[in-house]
Amino acid sequence: MCGITVAINLAGRSGYCSAKTAATNGTNRTNGLGANHLQPQLASSLDAIHHRGPDSHGTWISGDGNIGLGSCRLAINGLGPGGQQPFSNPEGSIHAVVNGELYDHRRIRDEMTKLSGYQFQGGSDSEIVVALYEYYGVSFLSLLRGEFALAIYDSKKQLFLAARDRSGIKPLFWTVHDGTLLLASEAKALLPFGWQPEWDVRSIIDKGWLTEERTIFKGLQKIRPGHYLTCLSLDHISEGQYWDHEYPDKVSTLVDTSLLEHSGIHRRPLNVRETRTEEEMIEGVRAKMLDAVRVRPQADVPVGIHLSGGIDSAVIAGMAKHLLDKGEVRLGSNGDQHLRCLGIAFDETSGYDESVIAQRTANYLGVDFQQAHMNESQLAANFEEAVWFDEQPHFELGFVGKHVLSKLTRDSGLKTIISGQGSDEIFGGYDVYLRDYLREPDPAWPNNNLSKSTRLQALQESTTSMTKAFAIWTGHDGNKSHPIYPPKSQPSPPH
């Protein structure tokens, strides 16, 4: 995890005419920000998010003082000076800052060396961004695999580009304040530029901060997952989409099979009749997961795994151990290749303790397992700090536990962690997703023997369970004595 910050003087009238941001534009300036003025602001901005990248800070400011890029780095790949950010191409016309991890970067690095003869300065995975952009232009975004937020300035084209990964794992916020386009990994990094936060009550009430580009602060937006923002000639701001999920209609028959060959940034859902057997589907998922686990440990620092009692983290730990035993992966470049796992243990009476299951999994795999114990006192002691780091609302206190687990990871000497976060959203692990599945039949599943009556009965049971759980969460069930965490609904998916 790194942190990035950007400031761009909007020299002319902004061409971004959306009503939702018009109130944030302020007064546009025609003179540059000035390097003497911008440098201390960038430095203070990076200090505010130093926790994201404690290994080094770096800045680049254009000669006219109109544009500044900043990075605080957590060194994972290419630990030497060649991995310092901001990155620049050999010509000095393209500059970039990157937060995140780009997978399979060694293969891409070799390909770009052969294709374009690009001269890399170091071994950082993030440096491939400059090489790819220089060769492919903006379309390079569709080639990236990983979790990232990035910003690039091309002085020849006078083009600024910022983008987020497909799933929005890495954050990137932006606003226009006093004629300056500001972007940063966290909202607090914008304070040194004079931006003042104000609650966006409407966004908080209707959950706009959760489901769209709005945040909990007025005028502050997120670049959406799979989207990018451009600023051309320090003037015209626009947004676009480079990737989206595809949900093919697997019942209809595709007439023109050439439609399967789709190129370009915006792809449309396809009609593809499902012909795979259930066994083939399972093996297909397993192969993709193995590949995903295989590319993630590519690092020059030790790598560990967050392990709970859930299926997701157990599968990842098992696959990592399998690949490690076969010699197909290395856990960083250090000599110690013994897999280390970390987790959280709650009080047994809380109803949320999975430490026994997690320990059993660790014993079965033969891996080291270290746990941090959480109780009400620990939750209360870490609540304020977790909120300060997280900068968004939550429906429960799981984020405090993740914060404590992150501190345990840091104190254990691990910089890189593989976890199962996000798997419930992909595989429908939560009860709310079960209801979506049960609402209509699924004829695409060849061996689906779920009858209509059984499906509707399960839908009613799931809805009732979720209603009760929500009443407990919000305190509307009349019970004044609830545990810190609300009880899980039944049946309860692993997490």
Dihedral-angle region of residue 146 (phi above 0 means left; psi in -120 to 50 means alpha; beta otherwise)? left
Q: Which residues are catalytic?
A: 2
SS3 label, residue 185: coil
Q: What are the C-alpha distances in Å from 468 to residues 253, 394, 464, 465, 473?
A: 42, 19, 6, 5, 9
Tokens of residue 472, six digits: 């407990």
Sheet arrangement for strand 416-418: 368-374, 340-346, 303-306, 416-418
Distance in angstroms (rounded) separating the CA atoms of residues 59 and 190? 15
Q: The dihedral of CA 261, 266, 271, 276: what is its sign?
A: positive
Residues 6+ apart with CB under 8 A from 293: 316, 319, 320, 323, 329, 418
Distance in angstroms (rounded) separating the CA atoms of residues 412 and 426? 30
- H or E element, residue 146: strand 146-154
CB atoms within 10 A of CB 455: 17
CA atoms within 13 A on the CB side of 388: 7
Residues 6+ apart with CB under 8 A from 51: 389
